[in-house]
Amino acid sequence: MTEVLTVSTATPTREAGLRLAESAIAAGLAAGGQVAGPVASAFWHNGEFGQGEEWVVSFKTTAARYSALEAHLIEHHEWNNPEVTAVPLARASASYVEWVERMTTEKVPHDG
C-alpha cells in the first residue's frame, strides 16, 4: 500500500499559506491542503527569543512525492529557512489512500 504523509509548514499570513497550498496542489505535489490559524508561536531566531502568529499549512501527499513537495515549499516560501516536516499516517482508509495517490501521480483538474 502507498505510504501517505501529512506534510506541514508555517507561514506569516493566511494569504501566503494559501499561495503555497495552491501552487503545490496545482503542481501535483499534494492531493490537498489546509491552512489553519493563526496560531501563537514562541521560538528562537538569530539568537533571540521571539513570539508571533503563524498560519499552519498541511498537505496530503505520498512518500514518493515528498522530496519534490519539500523542494517546492522551500523554493516558494517567503522565509529563508522554513520548517518543512512530514509525518506518516499510521492508518488511512483504502479509498483515501487511493485518492491521494491518484491526485499526486496524474494531472487531473479535480477528483471527479
Q: What is the pLDDT of residues 10-65, one digit of tens each?
A: 999 999 999 999 999 999 999 999 999 999 999 998 899 999 999 999 999 999 99
Residue 98: band (very low, low, confident or very high) from pLDDT cuts 50, 70, 90:
very high
What is the span of the domain harbouring residue 61? 4-105
Q: pLDDT averaged over the chain?
A: 94
User: Torsion angle, CA of 65/67/72/77, rounded to 10 degrees?
Assistant: 130
Quick one: how far is CA 104 from the chain centroid? 13
Q: Which amino acid is at 100?
A: V
In CATH, what number is assigned to the domain containing residue 99? 3.30.70.120
Residue 26 counted as domain residue: yes
Burial of 78 (C-beta count, 10 Å sphere; 0-12/13-18/19+): exposed
Would the pLDDT of 107 be above 90? Answer: no
Enter the pTM of the model.
Answer: 0.91
Q: How many domains does the chain have?
A: 1
Residue 112 counted as domain residue: no
Residue 63 counted as domain residue: yes
Helix (H, G, I), strand (E, B) or coil at 54: strand
Q: Which residue has the cell 499510521?
A: 90
